[in-house]
Amino acid sequence: MAFSSLRGASSGLLAALKKRPRLRRRQAGASAVSKPAAENVPNTIASLAPLTKIISQYLDPKDVERVKEAYRFADQAHLGQFRASGEPYISHPIAVTEVCAGWKLDADSLMAALLHDVMEDQSIPKQDLAEKFGADVAEIVDGLSKLDRLEFATKAEQQAESFRKMLLAMARDVRVILIKLADRLHNMRTLDAVNPEKRRRIARETLDIYSPIAHRLGLNALFRELQDLCFKATYPNRYRVLHKAVMAARGNRREVLSKITEAAKAALPAAGIEAEVSGREKSLYSIYTKMTEQKKSFSDVLDIYGFRIIVHTLPECYLALGTMHQLYRPVPGKFKDYIAIPKLNGYQSLHTTLVGPYGTPVEFQFRTREMDHVAEEGVASHWLYKEEDVTLNNLQKRTHQWLQSLLDIQSQTGDSGEFLEHVKVDLFPDAVYVFTPQGKIISLPRGATPVDFAYTIHTDIGNQAIASKINGEFSPLRTELRSGDAVEIITSPASRPSAQWLNYVRTGRARSEIRHYLRTVKYEESVAFGQRLLNQAFDKLKLPHPVDDDPEWEKLAKGSGASSREEILADIGLGKRLAEVVARRFAPENAMLATTAAAVDEITSTANTAILIHGNEGQAVQLAPCCGPLPGDAIIGGIRLGHGLVVHMEECAVAQRQRAREPERWIPVAWDTNTARHLSTRLDVTVLNERGVLGRIAAEITDADSNIIHLTMQDDATATGVLHLTVQVDSRKHLAQVIRAIRHVPQVQKIVRLKG
């Protein structure tokens, strides 16, 4: 839209805004109130001059004028609105836009920053913004707006949904989160105006969500400032005391710092390296964190100062490192090469800790000017939207992959709280760096396992993982990975994710993919099994099977709170509905009688209607762990609420007790002629406690084509002991072969199969 038409189109809405009632500000941390014109009118005047000066350095005049037009619109929209500090509210959007201008964001971003509260505070429609300022600006502002117009059960639910909307908008356009971070930074800088309780709540939210996102995007200067501001808001007294201590230490250690600076500035040119040397203090929050985690007093934290050496080329980073290692003795184990293996957020630098004068440990960082720029401003230093055809660098590719993963997680997660949980997992633990078999470096959070690695490579590899090799040796899937490990995943098309994996995965993507698979597969299996149970019920009642589009399905769904036929079938498969009761809804009216206990007994005694069991149906049909039935055993099935069909041995004491309580939930089942292999059963083996007996028993079990999957031993320091074995067999006949093989060991005295 041309500027002239933009100005003309906005004039009518500006006039209308003058008549709009002012709405109370609701956004956390940026408290604003409406005041009568004569009451406490502040003297502060919000000026656009500093912002204009910044943006004029990199935007063309036409774009500068577009930004000014957005300012005039926002100024009129917020007229009469004041912050809790007493300043005109427009001062906040201007300050946010100045932060964005420091990152050299484009004109659309700056316009969205100026307008970021007009939809939320003044209820200006998104369509109006799109018509006046363009679709991009409207989309960004919409992504920044909270969801106050919707009703939520709890504050936590509202916050989770707001974060989800913001992060998904960020996944589509990273400018959303850059403006949101600038917004949160200014709110934190002006937090003194709100009450202490609200101040602490906003600080905690910032520390949990916004600060890690800043780190994830490589905005380290912003990351450190947010942490310090949160520390100040949460523990004002501790902040004040620690700040005073650091100021005092700065004076006490001035001599040490000046000595190191002079030595470095002399040694580097002597080695032919032109470098910029600067000293820096660790942030107060990082010092406080180190004190609390390591239980140290301030006087024990020696490395509160560090030095940054900036050179021209990458090889000079390593030359400067060697020069400083000759000057001061390095501390073993304190060297990190983030140039060869950058952090996830694109950070590159060499880190080393040296023992300076008087035994003081001092950290040095070596980087080029380009690396320093990325280290401080992250993704904003090479902004993705400057040129559409620009080739993405590694930082941008990693950022794009992470943003895309947010969309993948969203597609598999319906609940806002669960989505936020997955995202927070990735924000932002320490990383470990492992290698694929092809030598590619993969970065994972500390504590990650081969399952996390598998899902990072591809969803199908994660879903089909059965084992892993770490550095060429087979290792359990729950093994914690370490930096430098070479990892290979062994897959099988027959494998499927296990709910147990959720206990030890660390990445949000792996957790989301596993939960999504378990939910989807369980639902599909439950629908299929529910159809089998319902067909059986129709056969028992001698009723015709209804077609899928029978109108009775819709009536039944509406009357029982289900959304579809599939949901009714899934409920039957999960034991939430009885198949006979559903089947009777399709009977002629005179046959719709209540099921009596006698009728149930008559129905369930019919052998030819038994459900056939394969043993590998999935989550809808489970073999009871209490008795471990095997093909060949007499079995019976119980419909357990939320679990589907649970198959027991007929003689199982647990099954007999449950059947006596709820006979209507038990149905006849029988083994199919083609059953699964490798079913588990438990044995107690009493043996003479002699050397080598366990090895001989294991060898006999292997020779019988079986496998031990779990083993414990009860040893009371007597002549005998009891081995508790869980073995894999194909059938009752195969189990008999295994038992005969175990009896070949002379030390075996007794073998008992556990059936309850």
Tell me: do 260 and 158 sit in the same domain.
no
Q: Active site residue: 63, 120, 377, 571, which one?
A: 120
753: CB partners within 8 A, 6+ apart: 681, 682, 683, 735, 739
What residues are paired with 647 via a beta bridge? 623, 637
347: CB partners within 8 A, 6+ apart: 218, 220, 338, 374, 375, 378
Q: Is residue 100 part of a domain?
A: yes
744: CB partners within 8 A, 6+ apart: 700
Q: Strands 32-34 and 81-83, how do they pair?
A: antiparallel
Tell me: do 269 and 182 sit in the same domain.
no
pTM: 0.53
526: CB partners within 8 A, 6+ apart: 569, 570, 571, 572, 573, 574, 619, 620, 644
Tell me: do 178 and 282 sit in the same domain.
no
Q: Is residue 455 part of a domain?
A: no
Which domain CATH number covers 368?
3.30.460.10
* Total number of domains constituting the chain: 4
Q: Identify the CA nearest to 583 among candidates 536, 548, 549.
A: 536
Query: How many Cβ atoms from other residues are within 10 Å of residue 186's Cβ?
Result: 20
CA 566 to chain centre: 30
How many CA atoms does the CB half-sphere of 323 hold within 13 Å?
23
Q: Is residue 696 part of a domain?
A: yes
Q: Identify the CA nearest to 468 among candidates 476, 460, 458.
A: 476
Q: What is the 3-state secondary structure (H, E, C) of 156-167?
A: HHHHHHHHHHHH
| Helices of type H across 546-596 | 551-560, 565-573, 579-584
Position of tokens 């040296």?
Answer: 354
Report the percent of the chain where pLDDT is more than 70.
Answer: 75
Q: How far apart are the first and last CA of the chain?
A: 77
d(CA 186, CA 210) in angstroms, rounded, equals 13
Q: Is the preceding omega at residue 335 within 30 degrees of 0, hence cis? A: no
Q: Is residue 622 part of a domain?
A: yes
Last residue of a domain, one of 381, 398, 413: 381
- Backbone CA torsion sign across 577, 583, 588, 590: negative
Tell me: do 584 and 542 sit in the same domain.
yes
d(CA 272, CA 297) in angstroms, rounded, equals 41
Tell me: do 312 and 248 sit in the same domain.
yes
CB 163 within 8 A of CB 209: yes
Q: DSSP assignment, residue 58?
A: T
Q: Is residue 26 part of a domain?
A: yes
CB 143 within 8 A of CB 17: no
Last residue of a domain, one of 605, 638, 671: 671
Burial 118-144 (b: 16+ CB within 10 A, else e): bbbbbebeeebbbbbbbebbbbbbbbb
Residue 567, phi-psi category: left (phi > 0), alpha (psi -120 to 50), beta (remainder): alpha
Query: How many Cβ atoms from other residues are within 10 Å of residue 479's Cβ?
Result: 16
At 737 the pLDDT is 92
At 111 the pLDDT is 93
Q: Strands 336-337 and 707-715, how do they pair?
A: unpaired
CB 557 within 8 A of CB 512: no
Query: How many Cβ atoms from other residues are within 10 Å of residue 273's Cβ?
Result: 19
CB 108 within 8 A of CB 140: yes
Q: Is residue 550 part of a domain?
A: yes
Q: DSSP assignment, residue 710?
A: E
Query: How many Cβ atoms from other residues are within 10 Å of residue 276's Cβ?
Result: 13
Tell me: do 41 and 187 sit in the same domain.
yes
Tell me: do 693 and 602 sit in the same domain.
no
Q: Is residue 501 part of a domain?
A: no
Q: Active site residue: 117, 121, 566, 571, which one?
A: 121
What residues are paired with 723 via a beta bridge? 685, 713
Q: Residues in the chain with pLDDT < 50?
A: 1-43, 147-153, 383-392, 428, 590-608
Q: Identify the CA nearest to 342 among candidates 420, 392, 306, 396.
A: 396
Q: Which domain holds residue 524?
A: 516-671
Tell me: do 603 and 723 sit in the same domain.
no
Tell me: do 40 and 177 sit in the same domain.
yes
Residue 370 designated active-site: no
Tell me: do 736 and 589 sit in the same domain.
no
At 110 the pLDDT is 92
Tell me: do 312 and 253 sit in the same domain.
yes
Position of tokens 């319906």?
Answer: 414
Structure tokens at 450: 């081969």
Last residue of a domain, one of 651, 671, 691: 671
Tell me: do 251 and 299 sit in the same domain.
yes
Residue 120 designated active-site: yes
Which domain CATH number covers 183?
1.10.3210.10
Q: Is residue 404 part of a domain?
A: no
The C-alpha angle 75, 76, 81, rounded to 5 degrees, equals 75
